Amino acid sequence: MLNGTPQNSNNEGIIVHLQAVDVFQKKALVLADVNMTIRKGEFVYLVGKTGSGKTSLLKTLYGDLSFTKGKGTVVGFDLSQLNWQSVPYLRRQLGIVFQDFQLLMDRTVEDNLRFALEATEWTDEAEMQRRITNVLIVAGLSHKRHAMPYELSGGEKQRVGIARALLNDPVLILADEPTGNLDPQTSEDIIGLLYQISQETSTSVLIGTHDIYAIQKYPGRMLTCKDGKIVEGGSLVS
Which CATH number covers residue 56? 3.40.50.300
Greatest Cα pair distance in the chain:
50
The residue count of the chain comes to 238
In a domain, 197, yes or no: no
In a domain, 226, yes or no: yes
Q: Compute the radius of gyration of the chain from its Cα atoms.
A: 17
Specify the DSSP class assigned to residue 55. Answer: H
Specify the DSSP class assigned to residue 5. Answer: B
In a domain, 16, yes or no: yes
In a domain, 36, yes or no: yes
* pLDDT in single tens digits along all 238 residues of the chain: 333 444 444 456 999 999 999 999 888 999 999 999 999 999 999 998 888 899 999 999 999 998 889 999 999 999 999 998 899 999 999 999 998 888 999 999 999 999 999 988 898 999 999 999 999 999 999 999 999 999 999 999 999 999 999 999 999 999 999 998 899 999 999 999 999 999 999 999 999 998 887 788 898 999 999 899 999 874 444 3
- Amino acid of residue 126: A
In a domain, 34, yes or no: yes
- Amino acid of residue 86: S
Domain that holds residue 40: 12-93+209-238
End-to-end CA distance of the chain: give it in Å, rounded. 39
In a domain, 233, yes or no: yes
How many domains is the chain built from? 1
In a domain, 139, yes or no: no
In a domain, 108, yes or no: no
